[in-house]
Structure 1
Amino acid sequence: MKTTQTTPDIPIVFEDQHLLIVNKPANMLSQEDHTGDPDVLNLCKEYLARSNPRSGIPFLGLVHRLDRPVSGLMLLAKTGRAAQNLSKQIHDRTIQKTYQAVVEGNPPPNGVLTHHLFKDRDKNMVSVVAADLKKAKEATLSFAKIAESGGLNLLSIHLQTGRPHQIRVQLAEEGYPIWGDYRYGSDQPDGRDIALRAVELILNHPSLGEQMQFEVTAPDEEPWSRF
């Protein structure tokens, strides 16, 4: 598979003159923050600049983000027009994203969860709150259990809303914390990698209008290897 050949390296799932779709590693920032740690946006800009040195500083639009400890498919736009089109698709919820998570607890075979969430920006923590709390935002997701193994469960998850830390907080609130997510209730040791992965992406190409589907498999490591 083609990669950005940066440090650290990022696998490239698809690229044309409009789109760049990468397989974001766990524990990598989507975009730069105060830590100064490597991030997807800047590493991919570095890759594009090196690929076409005569074009100057490349445009690259961050269409959506994944939390730092989350891995999987991440979509970027290589032109302003593509960024505008893809942002509208996300706003209109025509882009379909599927996640998989390995969770603790005992979730039912399937379900729909709706909570109201509030983000404490100083602590970078999200909590479930009463619906009438000022700045609370409604969050909804659906899930289905795919498999069970050794007290863990593999879930397939679809978002109806896109809130910060949404999957992590909502599953934890119901008693199904994500493996390794010590911030939101996992019994696993303190660490930055969690078992949450963006595994499928369906979108309409911003120029051609054709529907495109991309999938990635889970890594062959704990706890994914149990399934």
Structure 2
Amino acid sequence: MQKSKALSNSYNLQVIYEDNHIIVVNKRAGDIVQGDKTGDQPLSEIVKAYIADKYNKSGNVYLGVVHRLDRPTTGIVLFSKTSKALPRLNKLFAEKKAQKTYWALVKNTPPKQKDTLTHWLKKNPKNNKSTAYKKEIPQSKKAILHYSVIKKLDNFYLLEIQLETGRHHQIRSQLSSIGCPIKGDLKYGFDRSNKDASISLHAKSLEFIHPVKKELIRVEAPLPNDSIWKACLD
């Protein structure tokens, strides 16, 4: 166990759960899950290198990307280590049988203590931004989330969020549309950036049925090492 921990530290990875078929990591702000036009090394390649090193694999390492998180967000990312598990996990997510819970910090007072938000989101690929509309418009996709205020901090509100749909920038866009942009999220209306260019949105927990073992798996990602996030646990 200690050897595995030391190895993950050398790759700057926080592995939350791992078995023969899946691996779950706590993504840092700034990491991209898959390669993009920036050419930066993606998290998927770092995880592959970690697996190759840990298990002394000389050939290509199989790794399937099940879902993604936006670059400035933190928290749980699930990968498949086998071709057997990947389509089963994809089916779980497509059928909305994976329970994802997020935490977000917002400055403004939410309209309600608890609510369900329904919008139609339209993505603009030119600025990589989604706009939330109250009514359906051409090329828009329905987006539903549930939020509740779980703590009032000195200057922020801590929201817990469950998604019913998984749209582009869904949480960021929908919270912004009710006047509650996420701390640090300049793109969606917050007034200043976080020092590390992150936004205060964290994929905190994930619950799903294991694709092979058929048992319930629940994983939780520790919060970022930040004074405001730490205040959420006090």
TM-score by length of 2: 0.91
Superposition pairs for residues 106-117 of structure 1, below 5 Å?
A: 106-107=109-110, 108-117=112-121
Matched-pair contact (CA < 8 Å) for 1:195–1:223: no
Please point out which of 113, 119, 125 is paired with 2:123.
119
Matches of 2:10 and 2:123, distance apart in 1: 33
Please state how far the C-alpha of 1:5 moved relative to its aligned partner: 4.3
Please point out which of 175, 183, 186 is paired with 2:187.
183
Change (3 A) 1:116 1:6: farther
Change (3 A) 1:151 1:82: same
* Aligned: 1:152 with 2:139: no
Aligned residue number for residue 67 of structure 2: 64
Matches of 1:103 and 1:189, distance apart in 2: 13
Unmatched 5+ residue regions in structure 2? Answer: none
Letter in 1 for 2:88: N
Report which stretch shifted further, 119-128 or 155-164. 119-128
* Aligned: 1:197 with 2:167: no
Change (3 A) 1:222 1:37: farther
Matches of 1:100 and 1:127, distance apart in 2: 21
Please point out which of 218, 230, 233 is paired with 1:225.
230
Aligned length: 226
Matches of 1:178 and 1:61, distance apart in 2: 30
Letter in 2 for 1:195: S
Report which stretch shifted further, 122-131 or 90-99. 122-131
* Aligned: 1:211 with 2:216: yes
Summarize deviations over 1:132-153 as a string: whole Å, max 9, x none: 4221001000011111112310
Unmatched 5+ residue regions in structure 1? Answer: none
Please state how far the C-alpha of 1:27 moved relative to its aligned partner: 1.3
* Aligned: 1:36 with 2:39: yes
* Aligned: 1:129 with 2:133: yes
3-state SS of the aligned residue for 1:41? helix
Letter in 1 for 2:138: K
TM-score by length of 1: 0.94
3-state SS of the aligned residue for 2:20? coil
Matches of 2:115 and 2:134, distance apart in 1: 21
Please state how far the C-alpha of 1:24 moved relative to its aligned partner: 0.5
Report which stretch shifted further, 126-135 or 165-174. 126-135
Please state how far the C-alpha of 1:206 moved relative to its aligned partner: 0.8
Matches of 1:69 and 1:165, distance apart in 2: 11
Summarize deviations over 1:26-71 as a string: whole Å, max 9, x none: 1110111111123211111111122233451011000000000110
Please point out which of 159, 170, 178 is paired with 1:174.
178
Matches of 1:63 and 1:204, distance apart in 2: 14
Summarize deviations over 1:1-24 as a string: whole Å, max 9, x none: 8363455x1100111110000011
Aligned residue number for residue 16 of structure 1: 19
Matched-pair contact (CA < 8 Å) for 1:116–1:137: yes
